[in-house]
Structure formats: C-alpha cells, structure tokens
Amino acid sequence: MLRSSTWTQALAAARTQVPLLLVLTSAALATACKTGPDLSTDYGQTARENYELATGEFEDRDWDEAIAYADFVRIRFPFSRYAVEAELLVARAEFAQANYLTAQDGFKQFYKLHPTHKHVQNGWCAYMAAVSAYMNAPEGMALLPPHYQRDQAQLQEALVELAYFFDHYSGSSLEPFALKLRDEIKRRLLEHELYVARFYLDRDVPEAAIGRLENAHKNYPGIGLDAEVLFLLGLTYLRMDEVELSRSTFSELQSQHPRHHHGRQARLYLKYIYKTFGPADPNRKRPDRSPRDRSARRGPSSRTPSPRSSPKIAASRRAPAQQGACDPRVRA
C-alpha cells in the first residue's frame, strides 16, 4: 500500500543529509563477491578498505553484503573511526531492507553511543528512529483489517521518538519534516480513536465511547477531523443526558466550523436542546456515567470485523430536521 507523501518527503530530505564518506576504489568493486564476502579473498586488510567495500555494496543496493562488510569493520577494527561509520551504515541498510524494528534500534543505539557524531548532532539519527517506528506500524492490505483497526503501539512509539527529537534538536533543518511526520501519525491515531468510539456506539455503550472521543478532542486537534470529533462528542453527550456538555460542545462546533455540514447540524441540535431543556443551567443534575455492562467495554481487536453502520448510528448522524422533530437521543 502506498504511504502518504508526508513521510516520503521527509525521508527523501533526510537521506540527503548522509553523504558517503569515501569514494569506492574500482579495484575493490572488481573483486567483490556478489554471493557474500569470503574471509580469505574478499575482505580487505584495513578498516578503510573494508568500509569502502561496504559503502560500495550499499550503493549497489546489495544490502546483505554491505552489512557483512560493515559488521566485519565493527568487529575486527572496533577502535577505528570507520567502525563508528560502519554502525550507522548497518542501520541504514536495515532500513533499506524494510527491517524497520532493527533499524530503529540501530539508530537509537547510535545516537546514544556517539553523541558527538555529526549525524547525531544535527538530529538525523533521532529523526530516522522515529521514521523507522512509523514505517513499522501496520498497514491495511488485502484480506487484513485497515490500519485503524489494528494495534497502534508502533505509532505511539514513533511519537515518543519524535518527542525526543523535538526535545533535543528543535530548530534543526529536519524539524519541518518531523512536524509533518507527527501530524501524519496523529491523524492515524485519531482515525483509530474514532473507529473505537463508533464501535462502542454501535453496541449502545456510549459510556465507553465518550472516553475515546474526549481523548481525541484533547490530544488530536488541528488534524482535519475536528468537526467530526465534536459532532460525535456532542451526540454522545446527548445520548447520555449530559445536556450542558452537549450544549457547550455543539456551541464550540458551531463557532469553530460554521460552514462545515456538522456546524450547520450543530445549530439544529442547539435549537432542539433549548426547546427541550430550556436555557443553559450550570446547576443541572448530571447523570450517573458508570458503565451499565462492563463486559461490553472490551475494545475491538484485529479480529473484530468493521462494524456496519446500523440504523441506530445512521439515525443519530442525521440532523434533527431530517429525523422530523424527534428526540435525537432516540435511535431507530
């Protein structure tokens, strides 16, 4: 599946940050074995020779041989400056092979062990650790659930890596790309929160859905789904008889998104709330929000099929005017 342009642009920019340190000698290329280096014939005598062989294989996109030569440099010449560069080359080769978890560990280990390296000081290694975690997150594909129905742990980990980047390398040339990556990660996490909220609403457990929606409203603003989050939040409050919270949520939706279709629906709900419950009353008694059935609070897993839009949810998504003058809390 195609990835978004966000990380594509960021990764392309990041790769330009790492020039090859040395030019490959033609003699080394001519003797390199394409089925794997042989200790007796293919390895060089010095750290520099072997590192040049590693970078040559990397340029030829022969990742396994590049890693083999780089590992030889690290093990045979551990105190050489080429051993340090070989460590970074291994992480880059693992990333190129889509071994993202291994690459993430490699980049993290590198910036911890070599804080004075130029690609640590400019934030590139920390940034690539975040990109690796993001790339390791599940993608939707044929016969598998979409990404927002699956485990989001790797996306959460990518946010942790980005937080480290912003804490230590704010203002670097990679910061704009890191910001784009963070927005993309938050968008996907928000899609997951909305999916789980609808999962609970479809099963008539608004007490469980409300936590997801409140979390989405608090933690993922400005992603492009604010109107949808506020609308679902207002509806769910109303279904729970949280009249004043519903009123304030619809008011926020109307004021912030007046031209959005959910903003126009919010005006109708505000009229309904005023007509049914009267003006705002901060002392209005609030309902008991404890769950009615704790067994229903179990969240969806990767084995859970996507909930179909039931008449209950479909009715709650329509504006009051489209439902006649019926109470929007009453579902078909």
Average pLDDT, stretch 113-134?
Answer: 97
Q: Is the pLDDT of residue 68 over 60?
A: yes
Average pLDDT, stretch 58-86?
Answer: 95
Average pLDDT, stretch 86-113?
Answer: 97
Tokens representing 225? 């789904």
Q: What per-residue confidence (pLDDT) applies to 79?
A: 93
Three-state SS at 157? helix
Three-state SS at 240? coil
> Which ranges constitute the DSSP H helices of the chain?
5-15, 26-31, 47-59, 63-76, 81-96, 100-113, 118-121, 124-135, 153-169, 175-202, 206-219, 226-239, 243-256, 261-277, 311-317
Burial of 131 (0-12, 13-18, 19+ CB in 10 A): buried
Residue 139, number of CB atoms within 10 A of its CB: 12
Q: Is the pLDDT of residue 56 over 60?
A: yes
pLDDT one-digit tens code per residue, 175-226: 999 999 999 999 999 999 999 999 999 998 888 899 899 989 999 998 889 9
CA angle 30, 98, 143 (to 5 degrees): 135
Cα separation, 178 vs 127, whole angstroms = 7
**Cβ-based neighbours of 301, under 8 Å, separated by 6 or more:** none
Q: What per-residue confidence (pLDDT) applies to 20?
A: 38
Q: Is the pLDDT of residue 148 over 90?
A: no
Average pLDDT, stretch 71-82?
Answer: 94
Cα separation, 248 vs 51, whole angstroms = 64
pLDDT one-digit tens code per residue, 240-254: 999 999 999 999 999
Helix (H) / strand (E) element for 151: namely none
Tell me the pLDDT of the chain averaged across its residues: 80
State which amino acid sits at residue 83.
A
Average pLDDT, stretch 146-156?
Answer: 82
Q: Is the pLDDT of residue 95 over 90?
A: yes
Calculate the alpha carbon distances from 138 to 172, 242, 255 in Å.
29, 37, 37
Cα separation, 306 vs 162, whole angstroms = 30
- 21-25, 126-130, 249-253, 274-278: least confidently modelled range: 21-25
Helix (H) / strand (E) element for 34: namely none
Cα separation, 71 vs 91, whole angstroms = 11
Q: Is the pLDDT of residue 29 over 60?
A: no
Q: What per-residue confidence (pLDDT) applies to 81?
A: 93
Cα separation, 150 vs 169, whole angstroms = 31
Phi, psi of 289 (to 5 degrees): -100, 15
Tokens representing 280? 């705002």
Cα separation, 229 vs 202, whole angstroms = 16
Q: Is the pLDDT of residue 130 over 70?
A: yes
**Closest CA relative to residue 70, chosen from 92, 95, 99:** 92
Cα separation, 70 vs 44, whole angstroms = 12
Mark 238-277 as b/e (b = at least 16 C-beta within 10 Å): bbbbbbbbbbebbbbbbeebeebebbebbbbbbebbeeeb
- 47-51, 166-170, 202-206: least confidently modelled range: 202-206
| pTM, full prediction | 0.70
Tokens representing 38? 């042989």
